[in-house]
Amino acid sequence: MNFSAIRSRISCITAIAWYAFIEALRNRLFLGVFLLALPFAAAAWTVDVYQLGFQTRLVSDAGLTLISTLGLLVVLFFSLDQIIPDIEKRTVYFIFTRMPSRHTYMIGRFFGIVATLFCLHVFLAGLLVMIIKLRTGAWFNEIPVAGLIIFLKQSLLVSIVMLLAACTSKIITVSLSVLIYVIGHGLDIFRMLAEQSGNTIVAFLLDLAGIILPDFSLYETRIMVMHEIPAQTSALLILAFYTFTAIFFYLAVGGAILKRRDL
C-alpha cells in the first residue's frame, strides 16, 4: 500500500468520523444527556465544606457513576444509529462505492462515536472537578484518571456494539450488548462459583468466553476513588494496550462480517 492510498484511507476515515460526530451532536437525545448533568451538578454543590473527606469521595463516586451511566446510553443508542440505519435505508450502497474498504467505513463510524463519547466525558468530568474545587478548595485528582478508565471501557463497548450491528438487528444488538456488558463485569465471579460447585464444564465454557469476551472488571474505579488510591502509570498503559488490542480485534471482525454481507 503506497502513501497516496494510505492518505486516501485516512481521509475517508476522518470524513466519516466527522459526519458521525456532527450527526450525534444534532441528536436531541445527546442534548437530553447533557441536561441530565444539571441535577448531578446541584447534588455535587451540596458538599459540606466543613466535612471534607468521605462526603467528597461519595459525591465523586456518585458523579462518576452518573458519567458511566450517561456514557452507556450514548454507546448503546448512538452506536446503533451508525450502521443499521445506513443498511435499512440503503444509503450504505452509495457510501461503499466511495470507500476503499468496508473496514474503513467501520473505523470511521467508530471514531465518530468515540469522539462524541470523549466530549461527554470531558464535559462531565471537568464539571465535577470544578464544582468540588470551587466548593471545597481541593483538587480531587482521581476523577480525571477514573474518567479516562471509564472512557476506555466504553470505547471498547462501542466496538462490540458496532460488531453486532454489522450482522444483527437493533433489538438483538441491544440485548447481546447488555448481556456481554453484564457478563464482562462478572466473568471472574461466575467462573469462581462454577469451580466451587464442581461444575467443570461450565467453568471450561467460561474460560473460553474469557478469551473472546472483554473483561470489564479490569476497569473498576470505585475502590480507587473511595480510598484515594493513585493509579499506577504502568497499569494504565497496560489497560490502554489491552483496550486498543480488543478494539482492533472487534472492529476487524465487524469489518470482515460487513464485507461478506450481500449489500
SS3 for the chain, per residue?
Answer: CCHHHHHHHHHHHHHHHHHHHHHHHHCHHHHHHHHCHHHHHHHHCCCCCCCCCHHHHHHHHHHHHHHHHHHHHHHHHHHHHHHHHHHHCCHHHHHHHCCCCHHHHHHHHHHHHHHHHHHHHHHHHHHHHHHHHHHHCCCCCHHHHHHHHHHHHHHHHHHHHHHHHCCCCHHHHHHHHHHHHHHHHHHHHHHHHHHHCCCHHHHHHHHHHHHHCCCHHHHCCHHHHHCCCCCCHHHHHHHHHHHHHHHHHHHHHHHHHHHHCCC
pLDDT score, position 195: 73
For cell 474518567, the residue is 147
Q: Which of 45-49, 216-220, 243-247 is least confident?
A: 45-49
pLDDT score, position 154: 92
pLDDT, the chain, mean: 78
Is the pLDDT score of 230 beyond 90?
Answer: no
Nearest to 61 by CA among 214, 195, 205, 229: 229
pLDDT score, position 118: 92
Cell output for 109: 463510524
pLDDT score, position 44: 59
Residue 224 CA, distance from chain mean position: 20
Q: What is the pLDDT of residues 33-70, one digit of tens each?
A: 667 766 766 665 555 544 555 666 777 777 788 888 88
pLDDT score, position 223: 61
CA distances from 146 to 100, 138, 245 (A): 37, 17, 20
Q: What is the pLDDT of residues 110-134, one digit of tens each?
A: 998 899 899 888 888 888 888 777 7
Mean pLDDT across 25-29: 72
Domain that holds residue 179: 3-260
Number of domains forming the structure of the chain? 1
Which is higher by pLDDT, 173 or 8? Answer: 173
Q: How far is Cα 93 from Cα 20, in angstroms, rounded to an integer?
A: 17
pTM of the predicted model, to two decimals? Answer: 0.83
pLDDT score, position 153: 92
CA distances from 22 to 116, 161, 232 (A): 9, 20, 35
Confidence of residue 160 (pLDDT cuts 50, 70, 90): very high
Radius of gyration, CA atoms only, the chain: 20
